[in-house]
Structure 1
Amino acid sequence: MKVERRLKLWFQNASGAILYPIYGQGELSQAFYRRAAVKGCIYVLRMPVIALLVDKDSGCYKGVRLASGQDIFSQKLIIDPTFKATLPSGSSPPPPLQAKLPFFSQKHDRGKIVRGICITTTSLKPDMSNFLVVYPPRSLFPEQVTSIRLLQIASNLAVCPPGMFMLYISALSNDDNQGKKLIHAVMNTLLTVPRINSESNAAAQSETAESSSTGPSDPGEGKPTLLWSALYSQELTLGQADFICSTPMPDGKLNYDDLIDAAVKLFKEIYPEEEFFPQTSSENPEDDDDGDSFPET
């Protein structure tokens, strides 16, 4: 009930029932960087890490070397779990590093997540703009072994041009081809997919016809027409050493609960004496009121 009261208080003028980042999920990293900059952190654009700096005597991590040649030293390193460090050919690591080297390249794959992005000019449901649809296993075709999620987001969340709608389709799969068939099955069922003469799109249409029990999509009354689409797959990987931490990969869920839990755990490991996002008193006392009263709408 407290969460419900807070949502009503903070989001009384929200544009929809779904809590979704304005301008898409890509803005979450921007928000993190901006907050980090306020705390004195340095954010460098377009400057990849080309090497890890390791102490020759202890084999422990010391820092990183940027593409510009600059060395940055730190006690801890947080990286993408897909990052792999390899030794130059012909080089032999010192004995202390030999024991730690497997941690740099040892990764644990947890399958793949396949995603599809579609743009239409018509909502799948005429009376709704933002909603979620879940297709249970075998609901689209007999070979469907996993659930498929579809999230429709309207232009009021600034993820697509005005008057258009974005369909975000995702499914977990261990195989790229099977994952693409899952995405094409949803597209073929809900959308009118124009027949394009290009070889790449013709191949995609062939996969769609094979994956869906309804066959190739035909123009139908009230069936939105696909304007643009993109499909891609991403491996779900885990990897961590004692002095190098990795953040979790995006999973098949639409919320950020697991990512937040992982961030809290990681923060407590690095800063055990610090409080994670300490509460601050608001300048407006009404914002701190936990009562049942709500502003008039």
Structure 2
Amino acid sequence: MCSFTNTKQQHRWIDNAKLKLLKLVMKFLKLVRGHIGLDGKEGDDGSGGIADEDLELPFVEFLEKQRLPPKIKSIILYAITFTDYDQDGGEACKKLMKTKEGIESIALYSSSIGRFPNAMGAFIYPMYGQGELPQAFCRCAAVKDALYVLRMPVVSLLMDEQNKLCKGVRLTSGQEILSGQLVMNPSFAVQNSGSHMQSAQEGLNYLNLLGKVARGVCKTNCSASVQLELSNVLLVFPPRSLHSEQLASIRALQLSSNVSVCPQGYFVVYLSTLCDDAILGKECLHAAINALFGLSSSETSTSSNNGDPEPKPTLLWSFVYVQEISQASCDAAVCSCPSPDGNLDYRDILEMTKKLYHSMYPDEEFFPESAASVNAEDDGALSD
């Protein structure tokens, strides 16, 4: 009887702790929602915005002011706002997120939930993989009379001797294509002579490099999620959670056959982390791979919901590599588009692309809305 009473009291204490934690989280979300919706103005419900001085604080300090526990704070920092570097590292942190940036990221996360009926969370992924994005651009450009030449590499640039500007390219077939502007893949650079191109291995323009990102691709036949019914899952390992020298978050995006990126019954997991050193970046990814997968079906994990060991998904195949991150650049000869970065979304790369476009065409609007698309939206609204 005494044992039963103690257990009941313990459950009551746990329930009270959960209720207190829930109140703190709800209070924080109400504060964020009030700031997002009211732009810092007092609302009818008494909720207001976040003070300007708090917006300039490091976001981790602002979360501490809200008395959020470490676990909830870590979830907000690394799984919702997608902070890269260790925010508790003080001056050692390579990039400290300010409260204003954190609130903007939470606003994006909040506005993304429930946008599509078949999406469980705030994150969606294109069918058939990200390769469909340039496919969509190709079709969009074709409508505007763009010309695509496939399987025909460019061997050199055509330069105007008088003004030293690029006027076109020469293909391997010997054909010359003239153009007023030229945008190249960031993995190629122009030699000092301005007439030939060279690959990244032969000489990339390192003045435009922003850092490195280590990437991994894994194939498995079982979900890496604790909830096995979840097929498309994003897993985040906060800084220093797997490796003593892990300075940045490691993200693992698991995709299944329902987005048409692999055969039925299999899963593809993409891993990435920012790094300064290629060797260390690969070591951190291998630590994440070892935490998620086993090399054989007999290997087990030490953590589960009920404390019993559970089998890890078997790693069927994996590959790890490092990419240089370069920013967009444009000079009198040729422009270079930005390289893929370490983010899961396209906010930064789209912003760099817009800046590159406006540097090339300062008087033009970036992807102006056409009358046809406006009419299509109106027709869709009427049909609903």
Q: Same fold (TM over 0.5)?
A: yes
Judge conservation of contact 2:217–2:268 (CA < 8 Å) in 1.
Answer: yes
- Residue of structure 2 aligned with 1:240, choices 330, 338, 360: 330
1:189 aligns with 2:270: no
Alignment of 1:7-46 (within 5 A): 8=114, 11-14=116-119, 18-46=123-151
Normalised TM-score (structure 1) = 0.76
SS in 1 for 2:152: coil
Query: Residue type of the partner of 1:166?
Result: V
Judge conservation of contact 1:22–1:159 (CA < 8 Å) in 2.
Answer: yes
Q: Deviations over 1:129-165 (max 9, x none)?
A: 2222221221112122222111111221111111222
- Residue of structure 1 aligned with 2:222, choices 112, 122, 125: 122
Q: CA RMSD in A?
A: 3.0
1:172 aligns with 2:172: no
Q: 1:278 to 1:167 in 2, by over 3 A?
A: same
Counterparts of 1:17 and 1:45, CA distance in 2: 36
SS in 1 for 2:311: coil
1:65 CA displacement: 0.8
Query: Residue type of the partner of 1:264?
Result: K
1:288 CA displacement: 4.5
Mean Cα displacement is larger for which, 116-125 or 126-135? 126-135
Judge conservation of contact 1:170–1:252 (CA < 8 Å) in 2.
Answer: yes
2:244 aligns to what?
142
Consecutive aligned runs of 4 or more in structure 1 exceeding 4 Å deviation: 1-9, 14-17
- Residue of structure 2 aligned with 1:162, choices 243, 259, 264: 264
1:78 aligns with 2:159: no
Query: Residue type of the partner of 2:355?
Result: K
Tell me how many residue pairs correspond in the alignment: 256
1:263 CA displacement: 2.4
1:225 aligns with 2:314: yes
2:365 aligns to what?
275
Query: Residue type of the partner of 1:282?
Result: N
Query: Residue type of the partner of 2:275?
Result: S
Alignment of 1:47-62 (within 5 A): 47-62=152-167
2:96 aligns to what?
none
Counterparts of 1:5 and 1:143, CA distance in 2: 35
1:242 CA displacement: 3.2
- Residue of structure 2 aligned with 1:265, choices 347, 355, 358: 355
Normalised TM-score (structure 2) = 0.60
2:33 aligns to what?
none
Judge conservation of contact 1:64–1:73 (CA < 8 Å) in 2.
Answer: yes
1:13 CA displacement: 3.6
Counterparts of 1:261 and 1:22, CA distance in 2: 24
Q: 1:285 to 1:255 in 2, by over 3 A?
A: same
1:175 CA displacement: 2.3
Judge conservation of contact 1:21–1:157 (CA < 8 Å) in 2.
Answer: yes
Counterparts of 2:124 and 2:295, CA distance in 1: 29
Q: 5+ residue gaps in structure 2?
A: 1-36, 38-106, 196-202, 302-309
1:229 CA displacement: 1.3
Give the share of equivalent positions with the same residue, in percent. Answer: 45
Query: Residue type of the partner of 2:159?
Result: V
Q: 1:56 to 1:155 in 2, by over 3 A?
A: same
Q: 5+ residue gaps in structure 1?
A: 88-92, 99-103, 196-216, 290-294
Q: 1:44 to 1:7 in 2, by over 3 A?
A: farther
Judge conservation of contact 2:166–2:332 (CA < 8 Å) in 1.
Answer: no
SS in 1 for 2:324: strand
Q: 1:177 to 1:6 in 2, by over 3 A?
A: closer
Q: 1:244 to 1:24 in 2, by over 3 A?
A: same
1:277 CA displacement: 2.6
Judge conservation of contact 2:213–2:274 (CA < 8 Å) in 1.
Answer: yes
Counterparts of 1:248 and 1:34, CA distance in 2: 21
Q: 1:284 to 1:34 in 2, by over 3 A?
A: closer
1:57 CA displacement: 2.2
Larger radius of gyration: 2
1:132 aligns to what?
234
Q: 1:261 to 1:237 in 2, by over 3 A?
A: closer
Judge conservation of contact 2:112–2:123 (CA < 8 Å) in 1.
Answer: no
Counterparts of 2:278 and 2:111, CA distance in 1: 43
Q: 1:5 to 1:137 in 2, by over 3 A?
A: closer
1:107 aligns to what?
206
